[in-house]
Amino acid sequence: MIRISDVAPKVAKGQIKSEKLTEDCLAKIQELNPKLNAFITVTGDEALQQARQADKEIAAGRHFGPLHGIPLSLKDLIDQQGIATTAGSLVRRDHVATEDAVVTRRLRNTGAVFVGKTNLHEFAFGTTSEDSGFGPCRNPHDASRSPGGSSGGSAAAVASGMCLGTVGTDTGGSIRIPAAACGIVGLKPEWGHVSASGVVPLSRQLDHVGPLAASVGDAWTLYNAMQPESEQIHDRLDPAPLAGLRIGKLAGYFFDRLDEDVERSVLGVLERVQLSGAVLSNVSIPHADDMAAIYLHLVFGDAAEYHARTLESRPQDYTRPVRLRLEMARYVLAEDYIRALRGKALIAHEVDRALNGVDVLALPALAVPAPPIGATTMPVSGGTEAVRTIMLRCSQPFNLSGHPAISIPCGTSRDGMPIGVQLVGHKGRTPALVQAALAVEAALPR
């Protein structure tokens, strides 16, 4: 993987041409996409034009910032003017975006280069990226495994060097899960902090738009550029001092049902940062056991509303598993949906309380390593769990609560699959979360 922070200073000085970087990414796509299926649309000609334009601007002394001339991709749920937004579904195969999504426009204004639109679980309604109208996406670490989802193509693209950063969406973990499964960083911003305008929704109250990248610093650079210009801070942040950093380890539910390699890796990270002076305490979310039921009713109710018309007019254009899930969603009762809304508010308060007295919460990003494509269950301590349930277990709470959360690669399983640790921050303090993540990342063995 190439870090944006490594090449951006050279691009700024003209020592590396954006055109060359972009050609390298396009060559990687040509080489690996037939195997990984990470991209649905590759916009090679447009990307090369944008790259040449960036090189001209930089040569003329007009450098826009660290993303100028950097090849990025967009999850194919996010509008890019003149390009199809399929949402990974044949239902939308003929849709062409008439304008950029807000997030696309903000990145375009930085001089970034867009190399293409990445594959995903159809309509972001799944955690493995195998149910896509354009075929399953595969994990670059082992092509027989899922890259996680729903932003699976985005994570696979960054992890395999097809682009240097990407934009994903996260409704129950869809940035953090694939980031953990592919060994990269994924930042789910605080709810509402990155505009979702021009992004196909799954559940508007749970959807978050955010970056996936090779490092915490790169994820921050992308996140910062996604903000309105008036709210952008610095392109780079310094790590927080580990000494004295107060970390709340989320005990109970979040460590009860884990793959043993995930548990070993995440506990190893916590031991390591503790040795460097971080202060660890155990904290809990009392109603954690209710979160899956709360989440299910909300995301299903919202998805049923969005898809009602196309489920009736074009049911055959959905993949069978996603169509069935959406058909099931139409049976959610209004009274149970309202109960789930009460639960969502309760969980948000409980996460706030867990953060009381600590700087960040820590837990696994994904309870299991990337599952084999086609698997329906995964082994965890104490038995087996349905793939979808276990993959959402550690990430969905913070979609309900809206807190910012980041997944950082922290090791590998015995069979070489990446594992991620997750940090969760206070609302209104995303920079502090990222500074803590920079410190944890720096403490990990390379």
Partner 1 sequence: MTVAEWLAEAKADAQKRGLPELIPMLEGLAQASERLRKADWNDNPDKDTPRDPNQ
Bridge partners, 363 (sequence order): 422
What is the C-alpha separation between 47 and 64, in angstroms, rounded? 17
Does the protein bind partner 1 through residue 429 (CB under 8 A)? no
> 140: closest CA among 126, 153, 127?
153
Bridge partners, 71 (sequence order): 113
Report in angstroms how near the CB of residue 401 gets to partner 1 at its nearest: 8
Does the protein bind partner 1 through residue 331 (CB under 8 A)? yes
If one counts every other C-beta atom within 10 angstroms of the C-beta of residue 134, the result is 20
**CA geometry: angle 72, 4, 173, nearest 5 deg:** 60
Report in angstroms how near the CB of residue 72 gets to partner 1 at its nearest: 28
Identified binder of partner 1 from the candidate list 109, 336, 381, 412, rule CB under 8 A: 336
Closer to partner 1 by CB, 302 or 441: give it.
302
Q: Report helix, strand or coil for 427.
A: coil
Phi, psi of 402 (to 5 degrees): 85, 5
Q: Report helix, strand or coil for 69.
A: coil
Give the pairing type, strands 185-188 and 208-213. Answer: antiparallel
Residues in contact with partner 1, counted by CB under 8 A, come to a total of 33
Task: Build a one-symbol-per-residue string for 380-409: x at contacts with partner 1 by CB under 8 A, - elsewhere.
Answer: ---------------------xx-------
Report in angstroms how near the CB of residue 344 gets to partner 1 at its nearest: 6
Binding segment for partner 1 (CB under 8 A), chosen from 115-123, 175-183, 329-337, 371-379, is 329-337
Residues 11-30 within binding reach of partner 1 (CB under 8 A): none
Report in angstroms how near the CB of residue 203 gets to partner 1 at its nearest: 12
If one counts every other C-beta atom within 10 angstroms of the C-beta of residue 281, the result is 11
Task: Build a one-symbol-per-residue string for 271-310: x at contacts with partner 1 by CB under 8 A, - elsewhere.
Answer: ----------------x--x-xxx-xx--x----------
Binding segment for partner 1 (CB under 8 A), chosen from 138-146, 175-183, 195-203, 320-328, is 320-328
Binding segment for partner 1 (CB under 8 A), chosen from 68-76, 276-284, 332-340, 360-368, is 332-340
DSSP class of residue 372? B
Residues 185-224 within binding reach of partner 1 (CB under 8 A): 191-192, 205
Closer to partner 1 by CB, 114 or 295: give it.
295
What is the C-alpha separation between 365 and 445, in angstroms, rounded? 18
Contact indicator for 146, 128 with CB cutoff of 8 Å? yes
Contacts of 235 by beta carbon, 8 Å cutoff, 6+ apart:
65, 66, 221, 224
Closer to partner 1 by CB, 176 or 193: give it.
193
Closer to partner 1 by CB, 90 or 341: give it.
341
Give the H or E element holding residue 418: strand 418-424
Closer to partner 1 by CB, 24 or 305: give it.
305
CA 108 to chain centroid: 20
Report in angstroms how near the CB of residue 332 gets to partner 1 at its nearest: 7
What is the C-alpha separation between 110 and 224, in angstroms, rounded? 11
Does the protein bind partner 1 through residue 317 (CB under 8 A)? no
Q: What region does 116 belong to: left with phi over 0, alpha with psi -120 to 50, or beta?
A: left
Task: Build a one-symbol-per-residue string for 342-381: x at contacts with partner 1 by CB under 8 A, - elsewhere.
Answer: xxxxx-xx--x-----------------------------
Phi, psi of 413 (to 5 degrees): -75, 170
User: For residue 308, what are its two tokens?
Assistant: 């009602």
Report in angstroms how near the CB of residue 190 gets to partner 1 at its nearest: 9
> Which residues are identified as catalytic?
75, 150, 174
Q: Which residues bind partner 1 (CB under 8 A)?
A: 191-192, 205, 287, 290, 292-294, 296-297, 300, 324-325, 327-328, 331-333, 336, 339-346, 348-349, 352, 401-402, 427
